[in-house]
């Protein structure tokens, strides 16, 4: 992300989606760990053809435990209430949005990639849109709408994470 070319190889791992071996690098400048992927598989293809969305329903209790544990680390940094608007980019089933809505009554929206079928997985008071992030964020009624934007385990799925942050 920082565009520094100096890096150390930390490890090698096998990707569960294409069974290839990838090197994990550590940037000496910003300490970010990353992989360099040649012939990148599109996220849409992975999530449309390979990823098991239903497993998330099975492990819902564990996901909710993680949400509670992780949120407790940041809840003092944000001030949410019933007037707050929250956007979760890559929200899947909306478990975290449901948690925030039940705790604070805030207005919750989520975005998922178009190939994700979330029509039967909605919670009350939560909108999950099947839309590209850049199209969604460019709509005039979405500009400056949100008080809190979440990218929990989502940023690494974008081909250009800097563009996501800047948008």
Q: Cα separation of 157 and 161, whole Å? A: 8
Given a contact cutoff of 8 angstroms between Cβ atoms, the answer to whether 110 and 84 are in contact is no
Termini Cα distance of the chain: 15
Residue linked to tokens 């207005």: 107
Local confidence band at 116 (pLDDT 50, 70, 90 cut-offs): low
Ramachandran bin of 164, using left for φ above 0, alpha for ψ from -120 to 50, beta for the remaining angles = alpha
Q: Cα separation of 144 and 162, whole Å? A: 19
* This model's pTM is above 0.95: no
Write down the number of H helices and E strands in the chain: 6, 7
pLDDT digit string, tens, across residues 66-109: 777 777 777 777 888 999 999 999 888 788 898 899 888 999 99
């Amino acid at each position: 992300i920082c565009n520094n070319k100096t890096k150390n190889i930390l490890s090698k791992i096998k990707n569960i989606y294409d069974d290839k071996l990838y090197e994990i690098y550590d940037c000496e400048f910003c300490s970010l760990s990353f992989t360099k992927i040649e012939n990148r598989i599109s996220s849409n293809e992975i999530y449309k053809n390979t990823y098991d969305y239903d497993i998330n329903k099975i492990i819902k209790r564990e996901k909710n435990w993680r949400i509670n544990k992780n949120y407790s680390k940041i809840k003092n940094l944000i001030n949410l209430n019933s007037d707050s608007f929250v956007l979760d980019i890559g929200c899947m089933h909306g478990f975290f949005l449901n948690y925030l809505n039940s705790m604070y009554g805030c207005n919750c929206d989520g975005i998922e990639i178009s190939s994700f079928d979330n029509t039967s997985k909605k919670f009350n008071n939560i909108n999950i849109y099947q839309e590209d992030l850049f199209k969604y964020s460019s709509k005039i009624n979405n500009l400056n709408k949100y008080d809190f934007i979440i990218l929990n385990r989502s940023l690494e799925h974008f081909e250009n994470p800097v563009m996501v942050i800047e948008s």
